[in-house]
Amino acid sequence: KSATGVVADVKDVKPAAAVVPAKDFAAHIPLGLKACDFLTKSTDPFLAVKTCTDALDAAGFVKLSKRDPFAGVLKPGGSYYYTTNHSTLVAFNVGHKFKGGNGFKIIGGHTDSPHLKVKPISKRSGSGCVQLGVECYGGGLWHTW
């Protein structure tokens, strides 16, 4: 019995559903390769947005302009996106059964952290090489490297 009064038997504890036996990893290799391809193409926030908009275009999403009203453009079942400063992407689907006033759901993320930023005075040299001074932006899980 724990301090909270919960009775538990270790033999009843099951591993999380997300734990995949080693023999089944091969089934996940295509997804891993797809992720590596995305990361290779998306080395900064601008390229991440470009990689995503290319995929959205290929999937039939319609690019919107923030300067033009969306009223009359958005249709139930439609897929749309717009960008801001080439570093922010907003993409969304309008549900097939959508009716104005019914609300909506949003999922968000960001592409800017962590990454390396070039320092304002970045040209350096040492060991016979020209070097580029960079600084880390954002919180990486550096202890895992």
Tokens of 122: 């970045």
Residue 15 has pLDDT above 80, yes or no: no
Task: Kindly state the average pLDDT of the residues 42-65.
Answer: 93
CA angle, 51 then 57 then 61, to 5°:
125
How do 79-84 and 115-126 pair as beta strands?
unpaired
Residue 12 neighbours by CB under 8 Å, 6+ apart: none
Residue 3 has pLDDT above 50, yes or no: no
**Burial (0-12, 13-18, 19+ Cβ within 10 Å), 67:** exposed
C-alpha distances in angstroms, 16 versus 19, 20, 21, 70? 6, 9, 11, 44
User: Which of left, alpha, beta for 128 (phi over 0: left; psi -120 to 50: alpha)?
Assistant: left
Per-residue model confidence (pLDDT) at position 122 = 85
Residue 1 has pLDDT above 70, yes or no: no
